[in-house]
Amino acid sequence: MVKIITGRRGSGKTKILIDAIHAAEKQSKGNVVAIQKGSSLNTDITYKVRLINIEDYAVEGIDAFYGFVAGILSSDHDCTDIFVDATLKITGRDYAKLGDMFDRLASISPETTITLTISADNSELPENVKKFIG
């Protein structure tokens, strides 16, 4: 399952994401992963969550990001939740391709919830992206 949290910069997306990460960690019977670009979440996330700075792996672009997340899913069958902050800084702003990637992620992760933040107003997003707002 793929869900996105949308809103302009400064609208509180990261706070919502952090709250969701903590809730998932408390109820998960498996592993929770948080992906960030940089170190913005380092002090806010409990040590029980696997925190990944994607810059350490030189991942840029939609295809590289998809492969990175698919690799996490293929190597950790106990992963119940993946959270991604600053998605567009990693993937770029090609919204049509972004929606296609979300479809692909949803098809390979029926047992894992993937929640991502998107710094954009809902009116900017195409329908293939809007369907993941939740």
Question: Given 3.40.50.150, 3.30.2290.10, 3.40.50.2300, 3.40.50.300, which CATH number is that of 2-130?
Answer: 3.40.50.300
| pLDDT value of residue 38 | 87
- 112 neighbors 80 (Cβ within 8 angstroms): yes
* Residue 71 banded pLDDT, cuts 50, 70, 90: very high
Per-residue pLDDT at 10 exceeds 90:
no
Q: What's the mean pLDDT when you consider all of the chain?
A: 94
Instruction: Tell me the whole-structure pTM to 2 decimals.
Output: 0.94
Q: Convert the pLDDT of each residue in 94-130 to its tens digit.
A: 998 999 999 999 999 899 999 999 999 999 999 999 9
Q: How far apart are CA 131 and CA 93, in angstroms?
A: 17
Contacts (Cβ under 8 Å, ≥6 apart) of 53: 36, 37, 38, 39
* Residue 134 banded pLDDT, cuts 50, 70, 90: confident
Per-residue pLDDT at 40 exceeds 90:
no
**Sign of the CA dihedral with 7 first, then 13, 14, and 20 last:** negative
Show me where the domains of the chain are located: 2-130
Higher pLDDT, 70 or 44: 70
